[in-house]
Amino acid sequence: MVKMDLLKVVRVTSGYGTLTVLNQVSCEVADKSLVAIVGSNGAGKTTLLNTISGILHPYSGKIYFKGKEINGMPPHEIARLGISHVPEGRRIFPNLSVLENLKMGAYLARENMKNGMLKKVFEMFPILKERKNQPARTLSGGEAQMLAIARGLMRGPSLLMLDEPSLGLAPKVVASVYETIEAIKKNGVSILLVEQNVRYALEIADKAYVLENGKIVMQGRGRDLLKNKNIKKHYLSLK
């Protein structure tokens, strides 16, 4: 069965003022799938997520979410339609408790805590339940990343966009963050992941795109790209 495209980016060109970063980028996220955009430093991965979430408006091209054109909409409206963006660097509030950070995620969605999201999130992240009254600054790097992801889930999105969830984490911790990402997908949330950590991202991606200098240069199933000669050489340091 062919899955419906939840998100469709069509020939998007975007950037900052006169600096064009993305050049005619097209990509899709099928419903209930996990899509990875991989590429090295400065390729334009963050710019792509910022353009989808409305922080940047594309110079040209279209972005559709659930069939509706969203390019040009303000970020809060895009968020309300069901896209949650977990930015690079986590941006949690260090002096607020874990619970307060989570409530901020729901508050912004207005739906608040009524739909039992907090209970679901605590089931998925037991460590956050244990630490719910601690200031967020006392969490380890991995726990802080879990909190940022959990906060993104509080509004019950259909699409969760994750910017470099493995950044600055030890390999063992990255593995557990990635297990959580897979569990979120199993719960029916589609995921768009951008990563420099190509190996992890390709291992779990139903579909992946390689972004180089603002252009998509390759696409395919994650596991197929892992076997690709050019990927091995340029991104996995293998001969």
Interacting residues with ligand ATP (CB under 6 A): 16, 19, 21, 39, 41-47, 196
Handedness of CA 178, 180, 182, 184 (dihedral sign): negative
State which residue, 23 or 134, has the beta carbon closest to ligand ATP.
Answer: 23
State which residue, 1 or 19, has the beta carbon closest to ligand ATP.
Answer: 19
64: left (phi over 0), alpha (psi -120 to 50) or beta: beta
Instruction: List Cβ neighbours of 54 (8 Å cut-off, separation of 6 or more).
Output: 70, 73, 74, 75, 77, 78
- Min CB(39)–ligand ATP separation in Å: 6
Copy the structure tokens of residue 87: 């930015």
- Min CB(19)–ligand ATP separation in Å: 5
State which residue, 26 or 112, has the beta carbon closest to ligand ATP.
Answer: 26
State which residue, 39 or 61, has the beta carbon closest to ligand ATP.
Answer: 39
State which residue, 7 or 43, has the beta carbon closest to ligand ATP.
Answer: 43
Instruction: List Cβ neighbours of 216 (8 Å cut-off, separation of 6 or more).
Output: 25, 26, 27, 209, 210
- Min CB(132)–ligand ATP separation in Å: 31
* One-letter amino acid for residue 65 of the chain: F
- Min CB(232)–ligand ATP separation in Å: 20
State which residue, 28 or 164, has the beta carbon closest to ligand ATP.
Answer: 164
- Min CB(47)–ligand ATP separation in Å: 3
- Min CB(198)–ligand ATP separation in Å: 12
